[in-house]
Structure 1
C-alpha cells in the first residue's frame, strides 16, 4: 500500500481503531492513545506491512493488538483479573458497568466478544486478528457469551 492509501485507511477507521486500542488496554484511555499512536507509526513507517491476506481493517486491528501486547509486556502492565474463571468471581463484588463485566472475562474471550459485537466482525475475522484457529475463536466466543450471561444474572441478583 502507498502512504496515501495507508493514510486513507487510518482516517476511515480511526474511531473504531481507537475503541479497539482502548479495549486492548483494559479501557485505559491515555494508554490507548499511546498504543494507537505507536501502531499508526508502525503502519506509516512500513514496519507493519499489509500483505493482502485479509481486509485492511482486519490487518489494522491486528497491528493495534500486537502493539498493545508488546507495549504491555515491555512495561509490565498486567490485567488484574485476566484468566479468572467466572465461577471464581466473588459474588458480592459489585459490577458497575459493561466495562467492569468485560474486564472480568479472560483476555481471549473478551477480545473475540469485542471484535464480534462491538466491531461487527465475523468470528473468522476475529480469529485472524487474534491469530488463533476458527475453532478456538468459536470456543472462546461461546464461553464468553456464557460467562457474560452469568455475570449479568449475578448483577441482577445483587440489585434485588
Structure 2
C-alpha cells in the first residue's frame, strides 16, 4: 500500500488532504486506524532546549559559578517555559477525525470498493475498512 499527504498551499489554510491507495489494483487492504500528528515546532523546540543546555554549561566554569546578568537568566528561563508549553500543546493527539472508522465513513470520502466491517483483532476500536480491489485507482480521503 501507499500513503500520500499534501499540505495546504497557503499558511492561512487550516487543513490538508490525506489519501491512501492500493497498488497494484488487484490488492485488498484492510485499514484499522489512521493517525497524523502535528510536530511542526519539534525541531525549533529541540534547538531552543539545546541552546539552553549550552548556556548552562557555559555559565559553570571550572567548578565556579559565574555571575550572570539577572535579566538574561530570566529571559532564558521564560524561553524554556514557553518551549515546554509549546511541546505540551502541539502534540496533543491524532488530527484525523474518526480515524478508527467507529462512525463508519463520517468525515471520509470513500470509493465504492471500500466497506466497513467488524474487526476481529483491531489496533483500536471495533471496526476496520476493507479496501477492495478495483480496475482503476481509488482513493479513501479524509475530509478533515
Alignment TM class, shorter chain as reference: under 0.3
Higher strand share: 2
Higher helix share: 1
Higher RCO, Cα 8 Å, sep 6+: 2
